[in-house]
Amino acid sequence: MQMPPALAPALPAGEAGRHFSLPSRAATPAPAPAAQPSWQRQQRRSYGWGLYPALIVLALITLAPLLTLVVVSLTPLSLTDPAGTFHFRDPLGNYRQLLNDPRFVHSLWVQFQLSSVGVTLQLLSGLGIALLLHGRSPVLGAVRSLFLIPMVLPPIVVALIWKILYTPDISPLHQALEALGWPLRSLIAHPDTALWAVVAADTWQWFPFTMLMVLAALQMIPDDPLEAARMDGANRWQLFRFIVFPHIRAVLLVCALFRLIDSFKAFPLLYVLTNGGPGTVTEVTNFYGFIQAFNFSFWGYGSAIALVMLAGVFALSALVSRLGRDGGDDAR
Amino acid sequence: MNFDTPGFPVYNQRTDLELSTKGSAYDVVNVTFIYSSRWINSGWLTPLDDFIANRNLTPAEFDINDFLAGARAPETGADGKLYGVPWTAEVTLAAASRFDVLKSAGLAFPDTLDDFSRAVQTAHRKERAAGFVTDNHYGWTFPPFLQAFGGDVFRKAPHDLYPTLDTPEAIAAADYFARLLRDFGPDGAVSYTADQSLQSLKSGRSNLGIQGQIYLSQLADKASSKVAATTAWGAVPRGPAGRFPGSAVHGLGIPVGSKNAPAAWQFIAWATSKQITQRAVAAGYGSPTRRSDMQSQVFAERQRVNGYDIARLSSDAIDLAAKQGHMKYRTVAVYPQIDQQINKAIELIVSGQKSAAAAMQQAQAGALAELKRSGIAV
Amino acid sequence: MHAEAALYEPPFPSDKPRRPGWLRRHGRETAALALLALLLFPFLWMVQLALRPAQDAFEPGLLFVPTLDAFHALWQDQFARSFGNSLLTSTLSTALALLIGVPAAYALTRWRFRARRHVALWILCTRMAPPIAFTIPFFLALRWAGLLDTVWGLTLIYLTFNLAIVIWLMQSFFAAIPAALEEAAWIDGCGVWSAFWHVTLPLTRPGLVSTAVLCFIFSWSDFFFALILTRTQAVTAPVAIVNFLQYDGWEWTKIAAAGTLVMLPVVAFTLLVRKYLVRGLTAGGVKD
């Protein structure tokens, strides 16, 4: 369809650009003056066409497995004897066991540490690097793509690389440090440092996620408020705090949510670097669930662990997204 | 015919899943040692006795009895039927990558546990090498020491499965083993996988090692090993209770869901026939399961390095395992959980988080809980 | 490209009357390059590992004779097939996720119905699907549908995490576009979706491209689902790499070579589309 003539002159930059209105709560779509009730209905129907396919697909591929998960968690199902252990004689048996399982409780604490510190570091480093790279220059343009590399490597390869880097005998890092006179003992073999070594590798792998999204959001910030503020004499920090940050806030929140959710699913790094050890200092809940389900074949128990985790992640996400909403400028 | 060789942990997950859901994606599977009891006794594999007896499918010279009894035992179910044809038998050996260092200090290849710790202490830090290394699958590398000290995993596997991880002997063994790693191992030894442990030995960064012979025999490979000329091999150290080298057997089996069982059997019969195994041995294969292969001249020659007879060491170890039956703990269906407990316990001791007594007591409690969970009365 | 560059203005320009020193002008670039070298060190080290002969993999020295043995070995190992599978699966699942997800994200942003917040949260939840626990139902379902070990089966399963990303990320980008723009189009008689196509979507091009890149990356690096749901036909690159962790020794140079190869298409793709990551034509904004 041809662009309606009334719209054409409005788009390119020019005088029109000066009269920009920031997206704000005031911009809730009001019906156009000439609206009839059928327009609203038509509008709603159109929106429906856009939304329903996604909802249907998602329902199909997540509700069914979720149901299975719930059902299995109510049984002591073990794959070594599927027929004999698939019964509902003691539906809450797995959950009772969870409460009395110190290894499970410990795994929650490890998970909390990994998620909170890891996500914070990823957000901060991603944001910082995005701000650094947000500039006009062909060099910066190419560098932006290269910075994606850690995220693009298959996680198993990242885990293997870091495994070598953390093995003093063959690691170039350790050897360089030793040559400089600061020998470092193996980080993944010591209970005090194992988790933080994993967090470091995790941050290295995932900071590009935040960086990419923040860069895209920075690109979409309109010029005029910045121009105006600069002409009024605002310095960099003020520009950032009052203009840039509100614009990227929504994206930062989404990044935080997604990294938080993904941190609960962290697996390859732990599997290769520490295997949950030494002892259980890096055994997060997901890993513990994996051991129960795949090494011991206790599917019922593993499912119960997974459900508890889901509930926890759900609650956390609801909390974080509500904090983001209530905290201020929300274009939604 | 599709021949697929995924990585070992991948293979185990996939096969476990496929077998437990009685899938028909595979016709022939490798019956992994640690899972053999689970897979066989859960009824996930097809018994092979009828195929073997059928002269139309199996020629007479296949001779199932040529396979070592000790190798056939783990492939036999509780009902006495054979479910897998063993194709590899692996044992734990000891090796000294820089035996020249020990020799110049006046030591012979260590025989007893005391000799071993003395050798490790002497070798430590000489030529920039750590004294001792092994891989971190302690549920496999620790039991030889555990049993040498007089302890064991269970009271009397497979009948009496009461775990005995906190006996004084077990604690002493754990203390000895962890001390070797902690005080004389390379930095970060607790994170060393089998591959890393081997690399450490191959490059001369560690001296003494206890590992599977499939790894230690690679020390003789001049192309990749720096220490080919200075390596010495021997049996695992002997303790007050005797010598207990670890031994593992893998076999070829047919899943119960397979739709081509006769064809699958033909493949197995061919792959494990005398012609094929003889060719493998001639090419350097070091872990045959047929007695005829183990006693052959070709095998003995290929496996003699630096004056050490690796073939002899391996076959002695397998015979010892068959005679003493000390590997029965490993094919207990619930062993993977106990394996975990042992892994964690040794990790805790090596990383200094718990004392040997505390860690082994925790392992004992954990093992009892796991047994109870699996519904096994002790 | 030049027109876009001219319209583009970085937020903190240093437009002083006198030409500042070289460092001042190129400080940002220098810092970026230095940071790149530092952060990419592990990766660069992996690439040099791929070029080493197998037995010298961990030699401490920096000098070695580079060889393409590892890459040759990969080729013979039929790595090319798993590579192709990865490419196919990732492209398909990205396209599918965008096709279904972008309209949904738009609808969710503009359509203020009562249960909006709940639906959005539920969509987010679908990403929480723990791979560990969901694999068995997926395995059984795909086997029943005959889709096990097929590219399409895997693509369908990848929608579980890609749809949520597309919807949530695009929502945040659509929210930054003032509705006034679309209203103007509606007044002129455009339907909801044609206004979307002609007005909103071009404005969110950087967001769209970034989201596509992310979807591609997440599908590309998935390990767990590919492990359980493929056998030999549809096996993808990350799972194929694990095959180099052989029972009797890990083939490090092959792992490094595979890692290098697997990374290339995505970085190449991003380099190609990087101009779309820059703000589009409507830099000026909107007249009220």
The CATH number that domain B91-245+330-373 falls under is 3.40.190.10
The answer, yes or no, to whether residue A13 has pLDDT greater than 70, is no
Cis amide bond preceding A278, omega within 30: yes
Same domain assignment for residues C29 and C89:
no
The answer, yes or no, to whether residue C228 has pLDDT greater than 50, is yes
Same domain assignment for residues C145 and C272:
yes
pLDDT in tens, C163-198: 888 998 888 888 888 888 888 888 888 888 888 888
Q: Which residues of C touch A175 (CB under 8 A)?
A: 60
Same domain assignment for residues C57 and C88:
no
Q: What is the rounded end-to-end Cα distance, in angstroms, of chain C?
A: 28
Interchain contact, C100 vs A62, CB within 8 Å: no
ipTM entry: 0.78
Q: Which residues of C touch A162 (CB under 8 A)?
A: 42
In a domain, C144, yes or no: yes
Residue C208 sits in a domain of what CATH number? 1.10.3720.10
- Interface partners of chain B (CB pairs < 8 Å, 3 or more) are A, C
Who contacts B104 (Cβ-Cβ below 8 Å, separation ≥6)?
Answer: none
- Interface partners of chain C (CB pairs < 8 Å, 3 or more) are A, B
pLDDT in tens, C34-67: 889 989 998 888 888 888 887 777 776 667 777 7
C196 vs C206: CA distance, rounded Å: 16
Averaged pLDDT, C68-75: 80
Distance from CA of C153 to the nearest CA of A (A): 11
B208 vs B201: CA distance, rounded Å: 8
Distance from CA of B249 to the nearest CA of C (A): 14
To probe the interface with C, which of A2, A3, A7 has the most C CB atoms within 10 Å?
A7
Same domain assignment for residues C50 and C118:
no
In a domain, C229, yes or no: yes
Cis amide bond preceding A191, omega within 30: no
Residue A316 CA: distances (Å) to CA of A312, B31, C127 = 6, 44, 14
Confidence band for C14, pLDDT divided at 50, 70 and 90: low
Same domain assignment for residues C173 and C98:
yes
Ranking A24-38, A75-89, B170-184, C118-132 by mean pLDDT, the lowest is A24-38
In a domain, C191, yes or no: yes
Average pLDDT, chain C: 79
Q: Is B242 left (phi over 0), alpha (psi -120 to 50) or beta?
A: left
Averaged pLDDT, A207-225: 85
User: Hey, where are the domains in chain B?
Assistant: 8-89+248-324, 91-245+330-373
Q: Is there a contact between B349 and B179 (Cβ–Cβ < 8 Å)?
A: no
Of C113, C221, C286, the CB nearest to A154: C221
In a domain, A164, yes or no: yes
In a domain, A239, yes or no: yes
The whole domain housing A275 covers 101-332
Of C55, C139, C249, the CB nearest to B195: C249
DSSP 8-state assignment for residue A292: I
Q: For position C202, what pLDDT does the model report?
A: 86
**Number of domains within chain C:** 2
Interchain contact, C242 vs B215, CB within 8 Å: no
Averaged pLDDT, A95-124: 91
In a domain, A285, yes or no: yes
pLDDT in tens, B92-147: 999 999 999 999 999 999 999 999 999 999 999 888 889 999 988 898 999 999 99
A127 vs A212: CA distance, rounded Å: 9
The whole domain housing C34 covers 19-70
Residue A170 sits in a domain of what CATH number? 1.10.3720.10
Same domain assignment for residues C81 and C190:
yes
In a domain, A12, yes or no: no
Same domain assignment for residues C171 and C85:
yes
To probe the interface with B, which of C241, C247, C253, C255 has the most B CB atoms within 10 Å?
C247
> Residue B274 CB: number of other CB atoms within 10 A?
15
Q: Is there a contact between A307 and A70 (Cβ–Cβ < 8 Å)?
A: yes
Q: Is there a contact between B149 and B241 (Cβ–Cβ < 8 Å)?
A: yes
Q: For position C278, what pLDDT does the model report?
A: 55
Confidence band for C248, pLDDT divided at 50, 70 and 90: low
Residue of B nearest to C235 (CA): B6
At residue B164, φ and ψ (nearest 5 deg) are: -125, 50
Confidence band for C12, pLDDT divided at 50, 70 and 90: low
Q: Which residues of C touch A234 (CB under 8 A)?
A: none
**Number of domains within chain A:** 1
CATH code 3.40.50.300 for B8-89+248-324: no
Q: Which residues of B touch A163 (CB under 8 A)?
A: 191
Q: For position A2, what pLDDT does the model report?
A: 38
Q: For position A4, what pLDDT does the model report?
A: 38
Interchain contact, B21 vs C140, CB within 8 Å: yes
Which has the closest alpha carbon to A86: A105, A97, A71? Answer: A71
In a domain, A30, yes or no: no
- H-helix or E-strand containing B156? strand B154-156
Same domain assignment for residues C23 and C146:
no
C249 vs B202: CA distance, rounded Å: 12
The structure tokens listed for C215 are 């979807």
Q: Which of C36, C70, C104 is the last residue of a domain?
A: C70
Same domain assignment for residues C250 and C111:
yes
